[in-house]
Amino acid sequence: MKQLTYLLAASALMVSAEAGAVGRLATVSLVDRDSGAVLSAHYYRGEYWVAGRPGARYAIELRNCTGARLLAVTSVDGVNVVSGATAGYEQSGYVFDPGERYEISGWRKSNTEVAAFTFTASSDSYAARTGRPGSVGVIGVALFRERAPVYTPPKVAQSLPAPAADAASGANQAGADARREAEAVPPPGLAAASPPAKLGTGHGEREYSYVVDTEFRRAQSEPNEVIRIRYDSLENLIALGVIRRPQPWPPGPNPFPGSPRQYVPDPPSG
């Protein structure tokens, strides 16, 4: 398998986002960065939907809910947010320490800079502008557990005849080769594209965002969990039936209509 670069989230966030969170091994939420609001996740016909505000900057907030490190391969509109490649499970992503919370706020440009995620018209999305409009309107996070380190017992000197020692060494080497062959699992294919939506994610202004490189060995080639969140404008989600339009509640009858509420009057002028 080819060598990949994984990014270690460099800072934890203390703000709770459980109200709009989706996921089991890790929770995923969308945050409107201009208002600071966590966007509500609406469950409709087997999928989670979020209403984005056109023009607003947003972030994907992840929190590792396990006691071990996790790799989060993250895609927006079918594009890997780290490399810009058409998203696949086997690609680079962010590594989260146990219990860590971090905001992925844009397309990764370097270890110190991102281009901000912005809700925009689908035709102006980064995916559409790079010729890949087929999955606009969906955010995906593929989570991988880390492979436990293999314990190698220390070598112990033995007073055995040379042929017997060589035979034992050969057997150990054969066992190691068998283990390596069993671990060599080919990478899976690319994720299936989702239907396009009317709201997409643009390539916004450059911002400072610091991460460092790290190593991560996956416990298996397939994700341990895949989280999928679709998004569109509020108007479109109401039209689709995902969100019900709020109905105005008529005021009730006043039992004392001749006695309106009175407050402290202003003092006389002059």
Is 153 inside a domain boundary?
Answer: no
Is 163 inside a domain boundary?
Answer: no
- Of 2-6, 20-24, 39-43, 167-171, the range with the highest mean pLDDT is 39-43
Is 245 inside a domain boundary?
Answer: no
pLDDT surpassing 70 at residue 171? no
H helices of 84-230, where? 126-129, 162-183
Element of type H or E holding 263: none
Confidence of residue 161 (pLDDT cuts 50, 70, 90): low
Which of the 8 DSSP states describes residue 255? S
SS3 81: coil
Is 174 inside a domain boundary?
Answer: no
Is 75 inside a domain boundary?
Answer: yes
pLDDT surpassing 80 at residue 42? yes
pLDDT surpassing 80 at residue 193? no
SS3 170: helix
Number of domains in the chain: 1
- Residue 270: per-residue pLDDT: 65
Rg of the chain over Cα atoms, rounded to whole angstroms, equals 26
The label of the residue with tokens 């998004």 reads: 231
Confidence of residue 229 (pLDDT cuts 50, 70, 90): very high
pLDDT per residue over 99-115, tens digit each? 999 999 999 999 999 99
How far is Cα 92 from Cα 164, in angstroms, rounded to an integer? 46
SS3 132: coil
pTM, whole model, 2 decimals? 0.71
Is 154 inside a domain boundary?
Answer: no
H helices of 109-161, where? 126-129
Is 250 inside a domain boundary?
Answer: no
Structure-token pair, residue 58: 């947003």
Report angle CA 146, 70, 102 to the nearest 5 degrees. 160
Q: Which residues contact 94 (CB under 8 A, 6 or more apart)?
A: 6, 7, 8, 9, 62, 71, 72, 74, 82, 102, 104, 211
State which residues form the domain around 68.
6-148+190-240
Q: Which residues contact 81 (CB under 8 A, 6 or more apart)?
A: 60, 74, 75, 104, 106, 107, 108
pLDDT surpassing 50 at residue 180? no
Cα separation values, 204 from 112, 164, 165, Å: 16, 67, 64
Is 171 inside a domain boundary?
Answer: no
